[in-house]
């Protein structure tokens, strides 16, 4: 077999040599024979004739020789290919429409599939990554769906859950790295020693962290990412042991990670030990995760997720027996959940992506139906030609293979163009913010995707060929030959097929349109939600002050000086500081104990957004005052224990009384009297984590001195465009401390807009898809109607000759398109309802069936269908009886 393939390959690559050799060899034979005949006394002319006659047909001998080499198949294929190319070139309009349709439909699918592939399908870059799990605490009844894990959880769980081979914790952060004068802010991760072993991928140079390096005194070590090592250390192989300054504290480099190391979507370039003090690991701190520390674990090869979950549940139950906060956490519905790491990471975006892929597939179906219809119309124009060829001996196999070659050539060319469209589409997605999706930076155009789309194109070609081949073979030869015109009676079956194709096309386009409408309406409803403050003209930025350089006093002094300088910048009306501004993506909740509030049976202690504020934060952010007063610069200077709550908080705890003068403690336990905070004001509720946040959790604002963090946000209200303040703000900060950069500088309006990317981009794409779908449907309807008109030209001519009015003819085709439209919309209605149901997860306050959307979709659909039928029916009405009857 192999030898034959090699021989075939040799001949194919040197086809001309083969042919020349064969001709020469046969000629040699005949001439040699003629020579022999001459020698036996024959005249040269007679000998030559005799030799040729005895040899028989040269061409048939050659054909036999080619067949012996398996070449005839290739020759036939080549003939069919050049025939197909000729046919396609003869109908440039059809070919261009088909190629464009295929390119757009395949390109759209390729684009969305590229995202699905990199986000949902491709495994994480770790060995056996499907065994990697994440574990997080949830307190659903306290309004805290996700709270990460605590240090205590980690120390209690590791080695005690038999279903896990190892278990580790990590937290994300940013630190200032480098020598004074050349510092840079870098993304970092703090990880426990077993983090890299759990992932199964660790340093390639040096070593990982040890257990001894997890206390705050002994954690002066760091592991570098490959990129950081190359950029900052010029890929120095002797980097181990060198010093690196992190937040102005020197650390020793102990390891370098491989280039492929990337944990989820993190851009961390420096890894530090997750150090803690013994008191952070006690049972008292078990439920103080605060969603800062996250846990991962690796399942044993023979263990299941369910086993791990039940072992974890059992441990939690055992620990809860003597937990000091047992009642509180039981009330809160506490559980720890084990979820696959990758699935958890992409859970939020998964429904949207699947929806978009469904939309793209619907688009492909519409395009495919269009093409099959066009191909059928074309085939019926060639009925006679095919009948003649079949009568002359073309086999059924030949008829089929000819169609397959033609459609596959078409779809393959369309697929190649689709690659270009997909390549552009992936770039478009980048513009729309796809690389900010979880794992979105992995989205790329690669060989695998190209191969998948070309294989799809070939499969489509073969599928397309089926109805056309059926059409070509089903007609009786005699019939086709006898009927004089191509308008001879053709069966009802092909017509029914064409019409049902148009109906399904309309239905699919209707579904897409309705789906896009729902997404758009949902987006509009989200955008109509007020964030709860005046979000215009505010610039915000994050500043991190290293603990080593800044004591609490120095920190407060820095903030006071910063606010003073910022408020003197031109255009600045007011400025303030807060731990986390709304829409910053870092909005965690913590508990508060309200004096006099007794938990009702079944009621759980609630998590509230809790912030420290300094300066004129409320005025700068445009909060509204409901009662009492704002916290002001004076509160930042005094150490009086006062606080401001928002109206949701006030309504929850004091529904019938004034909140002013009430007292509460920071934390879940009631403390000493002297540690209570007095409420001095009530402000309007603010959407903290996003516009779609439905449940008002309540918020408490303390003076900043009582809630100091390593980093804080500064917010400034200005009368100028907020972006113009950026340079000024950075300059002010650098004047106070040249090593402190300002991070994440964005106006509040940009933050809100950015938070909508996951809704806006899908809505845009869905809109784009439905526009293309409409266009394709219009082309499809137009094609089928024009064909119907052309096919019945003689009949129409005859009827008009007998007195039919043009109006009657016109309305006949008008009704046909109306029937198709009605059928399509009826199906589409059902489809749209199902689509709406499937979309509930990604919709915001929009029901599955929205009448306005459906009516709108119907209007658009109707307009497009009618527009598509206008030209053909107009043409039908203008048929001249004389011409039509005289033809053919």
Q: Which is nearer to other proteins, 55 or 83 (CB)?
A: 55
7 near other proteins (CB under 8 A)? yes
- For other proteins, which residue of 14, 15, 20, 25 counts as binding (CB under 8 A)? 25
Distance, CA of 64 to CA of 627 (rounded, Å): 101
Is 58 or 305 the residue whose CB approaches other proteins more closely?
A: 58
Rounded Cα distance, 498 and 501, in Å: 5
Residue 22 or 416: which CB sits closer to other proteins?
22
Q: What distance in Å separates the CA atoms of residue 616 and residue 574, rounded to the nearest whole number?
A: 6
Q: Is 613 exposed, middle or buried (0-12, 13-18, 19+ CB in 10 A)?
A: buried
Binders of other proteins in range 696-755 (CB under 8 A): none
Contact 800, 132 (CB under 8 A): no
CB closer to other proteins, 12 vs 727 = 12
Give the nearer residue to other proteins in terms of CB position, either 21 or 570: 21
Of the pair 69, 389, the CB lying nearest other proteins is at 69
Instruction: Indicate the Cα dihedral angle 494, 498, 501, 505, nearest 10°.
Output: 180
Q: At its nearest, how many Å lie between other proteins and the CB of residue 34?
A: 11
3-state DSSP helix/strand/coil % of the chain, to nearest 5? 55, 15, 30
- What is the nearest approach in angstroms of other proteins to the Cβ of residue 46? 18
For residues 35 and 435, what is the distance between their CA atoms, to the nearest angstrom? 80
Site string for other proteins, 612-641 (x = CB under 8 A): ------------------------------
Q: Report the alpha-carbon distance of residue 468 to residue 458 in Å, rounded.
A: 16
Q: Nearest approach, Cβ of 56 to other proteins (angstroms)?
A: 4
Beta carbon of residue 3, minimum distance to other proteins (angstroms, whole number): 5
Look up tokens 């690991």; give the residue.
281
- Give 721-771 as a DSSP string: -GGGGHHHHHHHHHHH-TT--EEEEEEHHHHHHHHTHHHHHHHHHHHHHHH
Choose the stretch contacting other proteins; rule: CB under 8 A; options: 18-26, 500-508, 516-524, 839-847. 18-26
- In the complex with other proteins, the residue whose CB is nearer, 12 or 477, is 12
Beta bridge partners of 173: 188
Q: Pick the closer one to other proteins by CB: 35 or 549.
A: 35
CB count in 10 Å sphere of residue 683: 26
CB of 29 to other proteins, least distance (A): 5
Spatial distance between the Cα atoms of 189 and 167, rounded to a whole number of angstroms: 16
Nearer of residues 68 and 695 to other proteins, judged by Cβ: 68
Total binding residues toward other proteins, as defined by CB under 8 A: 26
Both tokens assigned to 357: 């892929």
DSSP secondary structure letters along 281-322: GSGGGTT--TTTSEEEEEE-TT--HHHHHHHHHHHHHHHHTT
Provide the minimum distance between the beta carbon of 41 and other proteins in the complex, in angstroms, as a whole number.
18
- Residue 819 structure tokens: 């029937």
Distance, CA of 388 to CA of 199 (rounded, Å): 69
H/E stretch holding 715 reads strand 711-718
Shortest distance in whole angstroms from residue 439 CB to other proteins: 53
Given a contact cutoff of 8 angstroms between Cβ atoms, the answer to whether 223 and 255 are in contact is: yes
The pair of structure tokens assigned to 94 is 């059809």
72 vs 90: CA distance, rounded Å: 27
Please check whether residue 38 is in contact with residue 44, taking contact to mean a CB–CB distance below 8 angstroms: yes
Q: Distance (Å, rounded) from C-alpha 825 to C-alpha 598?
A: 58
Nearer to other proteins, 69 or 141 (CB): 69
Minimum Å gap between C-beta 235 and other proteins is 54
Q: How far is the CB of 118 from other proteins (least distance, A)?
A: 48
- Output 67 or 212, the one with its CB closest to other proteins: 67
- What span, in angstroms and rounded, lies between the C-alpha atoms of 815 and 813? 5
- Using the contact rule CB under 8 A, the part of the chain among 3-11, 234-242, 469-477, 591-599 near other proteins is 3-11
CB of 27 to other proteins, least distance (A): 10
Nearer to other proteins, 65 or 87 (CB): 65
Q: At its nearest, how many Å lie between other proteins and the CB of residue 511?
A: 56
In angstroms, give the least distance from the CB of 32 to other proteins. 5
406 exposed, middle or buried (CB, 10 Å; 0-12, 13-18, 19+)? buried
DSSP code at position 182: S
Q: Which of 12, 14, 15, 21 binds other proteins (CB under 8 A)?
A: 21
Complex with other proteins: residue 44 or 671, whichever CB lies closer: 44
Nearer to other proteins, 39 or 395 (CB): 39
Distance CA 582, CA 109 (A): 36
Shortest distance (Å) from residue 406 CB to other proteins? 31
Q: How far apart are CA 29 and CA 20, in angstroms?
A: 14
724 to 112, 569, 576, 640: CA distances (angstroms): 37, 11, 18, 36
CA distance 109 to 114: 8
Interaction residues for other proteins, span 26-85 (CB under 8 A): 26, 28-29, 32-33, 35, 54-57, 60-61, 64-65, 67-70
Q: Which is nearer to other proteins, 29 or 146 (CB)?
A: 29
Question: Which of 71/270 has CB closer to other proteins?
Answer: 71
| CB of 775 vs other proteins, minimal distance in Å | 53
**Distances in Å between the alpha carbon of 274 and those of 191, 215, 403, 517?**
5, 8, 66, 48
Element (H, E) at 354: helix 350-380
**3-state class (DSSP) for residue 750:** helix
Min dist CB 398 to other proteins, Å, is 22
Q: Of the two residues 31 and 552, which places its CB atom closer to other proteins in the complex?
A: 31
| Beta carbon of residue 69, minimum distance to other proteins (angstroms, whole number) | 5
Task: Tell me how far, at minimum, the Cβ of 1 lies from other proteins, in Å.
Answer: 11
Which residues, in sequence order, are CB contacts of 502 under 8 Å at separation 6+?
A: 369, 373, 777, 780, 781, 784, 820, 824
CA 584 to chain centre: 22
Q: How far is the CB of 397 from other proteins (least distance, A)?
A: 23
Nearer to other proteins, 31 or 211 (CB): 31
Determine contact, residues 650/664, Cβ cutoff 8 Å.
no
CA dist 708 and 619 (Å) reads 21
Positions in 87-116 near other proteins (CB under 8 A)? none
810 dihedral zone (left: phi>0; alpha: psi -120 to 50; beta):
alpha
Ranges within 309-338 binding other proteins (CB under 8 A): none
Q: Residue 676: how many CB atoms within 10 A of its CB?
A: 18
Which residues sit at the interface with other proteins, rule CB under 8 A?
3-4, 7-8, 21-22, 24-26, 28-29, 32-33, 35, 54-57, 60-61, 64-65, 67-70
């Amino acid at each position: 077999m192999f030898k034959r393939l090699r021989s075939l390959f040799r001949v194919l690559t040197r086809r001309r040599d083969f042919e020349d050799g064969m001709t020469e060899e046969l000629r040699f034979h005949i001439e040699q024979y003629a020579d022999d005949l001459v020698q036996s006394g024959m005249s040269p002319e007679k000998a030559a004739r005799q030799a040729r006659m005895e040899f028989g047909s040269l061409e048939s001998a050659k054909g036999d020789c080619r067949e012996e080499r398996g070449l005839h198949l290739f020759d036939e294929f080549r003939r069919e290919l050049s025939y197909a190319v000729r046919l396609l070139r003869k109908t440039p309009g059809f070919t261009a429409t088909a190629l464009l349709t295929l390119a757009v439909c395949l390109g759209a699918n390729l684009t969305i599939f590229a995202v699905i592939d990199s986000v949902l399908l491709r495994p994480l870059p770790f060995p056996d990554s499907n065994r990697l799990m994440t574990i997080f605490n949830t307190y659903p009844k306290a309004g805290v769906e996700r709270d990460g894990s605590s240090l205590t959880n980690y120390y209690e769980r590791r080695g005690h859950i038999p279903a896990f081979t190892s278990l580790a914790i990590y937290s994300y952060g940013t630190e200032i790295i480098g020598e004074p004068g050349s510092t840079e802010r870098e993304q970092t991760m703090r990880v426990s020693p077993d983090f890299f072993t759990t992932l199964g991928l660790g340093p390639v140079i040096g070593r990982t962290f040890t257990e001894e390096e997890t206390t705050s005194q002994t954690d002066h070590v760091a592991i570098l990412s490959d990129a950081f090592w190359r950029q900052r250390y010029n890929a120095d192989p002797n980097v181990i042991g060198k010093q690196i300054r992190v937040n102005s504290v020197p650390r020793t480099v102990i390891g370098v990670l491989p280039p492929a190391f990337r944990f989820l979507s993190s851009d961390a370039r420096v890894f530090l030990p997750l150090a803690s003090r013994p008191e952070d690991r006690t049972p008292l701190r078990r439920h103080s995760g605060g969603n800062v520390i996250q846990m991962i674990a690796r399942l044993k090869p023979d263990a299941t997720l369910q086993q791990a979950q039940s072992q974890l549940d059992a441990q939690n139950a055992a620990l809860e027996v003597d937990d000091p906060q047992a009642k509180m956490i039981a009330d809160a519905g506490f559980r720890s959940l084990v979820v696959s790491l990758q699935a958890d990471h992409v859970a939020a975006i998964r429904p949207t992506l699947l929806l978009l892929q469904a939309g793209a597939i619907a688009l492909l179906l519409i395009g495919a139906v269009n093409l099959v219809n066009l191909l059928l119309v074309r085939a019926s124009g060639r009925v006679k030609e095919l009948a003649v060829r079949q009568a002359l001996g073309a086999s059924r196999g030949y008829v089929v293979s000819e169609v397959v070659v033609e459609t596959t050539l078409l779809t393959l060319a369309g697929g190649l163009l689709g690659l270009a469209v997909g390549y552009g589409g992936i770039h478009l997605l980048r513009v729309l913010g796809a690389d900010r999706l979880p794992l979105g930076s992995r989205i790329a155009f690669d060989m695998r995707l190209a191969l998948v789309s070309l294989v799809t194109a070939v499969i489509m070609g073969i599928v397309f060929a089926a109805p056309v081949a059926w059409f070509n073979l089903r007609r009786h030869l005699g019939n086709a030959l006898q009927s004089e015109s191509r308008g001879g009676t053709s069966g009802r079956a092909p017509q029914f097929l064409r019409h049902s194709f148009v109906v399904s096309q309309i239905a699919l386009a209707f579904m897409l349109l309705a789906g896009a409408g729902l997404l758009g309406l949902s987006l509009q409803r989200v955008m109509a939600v007020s964030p709860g403050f005046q979000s215009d003209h505010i610039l915000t930025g994050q500043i991190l002050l290293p603990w080593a350089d800044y004591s609490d006093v120095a920190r407060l002094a820095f903030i006071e000086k910063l606010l003073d300088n910022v408020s003197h910048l031109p255009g600045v009306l007011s400025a303030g500081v807060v731990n986390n501004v709304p829409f910053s993506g870092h909005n965690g909740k913590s508990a508060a104990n309200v004096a006099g509030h007794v938990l009702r049976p079944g009621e759980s202690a609630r998590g509230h957004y809790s912030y420290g504020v300094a300066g004129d934060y409320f005025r700068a952010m445009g909060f509204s005052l409901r009662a009492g007063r704002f916290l002001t610069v004076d509160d930042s200077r005094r150490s009086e224990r006062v606080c401001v709550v928002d109206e949701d908080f006030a309504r929850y705890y004091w529904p019938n009384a004034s909140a002013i003068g009430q007292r509460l403690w920071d934390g879940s336990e009631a403390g000493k009297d002297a540690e209570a905070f007095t409420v001095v004001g009530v402000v309007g509720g603010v959407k903290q984590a996003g516009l779609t946040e439905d449940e008002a959790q309540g918020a408490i604002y303390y003076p900043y001195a009582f809630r100091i963090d390593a980093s804080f946000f500064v917010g400034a209200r200005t009368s100028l465009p907020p972006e113009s303040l950026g340079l000024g703000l950075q300059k002010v900060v650098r004047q106070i401390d040249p090593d402190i950069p300002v991070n994440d500088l964005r106006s509040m309006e940009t933050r809100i807009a950015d938070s909508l990317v996951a809704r806006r981009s899908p809505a845009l794409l869905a809109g784009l898809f439905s526009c293309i779908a409409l266009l394709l449907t219009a082309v499809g309807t137009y094609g089928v109607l024009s064909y119907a008109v052309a096919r019945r030209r003689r009949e129409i001519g005859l009827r008009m000759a007998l007195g039919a009015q043009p109006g009657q003819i016109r309305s006949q085709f008008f009704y046909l398109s109306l029937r198709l439209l009605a059928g399509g919309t009826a199906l589409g209605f059902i489809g749209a309802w199902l689509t709406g149901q499937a979309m509930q997860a990604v919709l915001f306050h929009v029901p599955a069936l929205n009448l306005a959307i459906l009516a709108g979709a119907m209007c658009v659909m109707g307009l497009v269908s009618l527009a598509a039928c206008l030209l053909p029916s107009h043409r039908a009405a203008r048929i001249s009886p004389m011409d039509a009857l005289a033809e053919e």
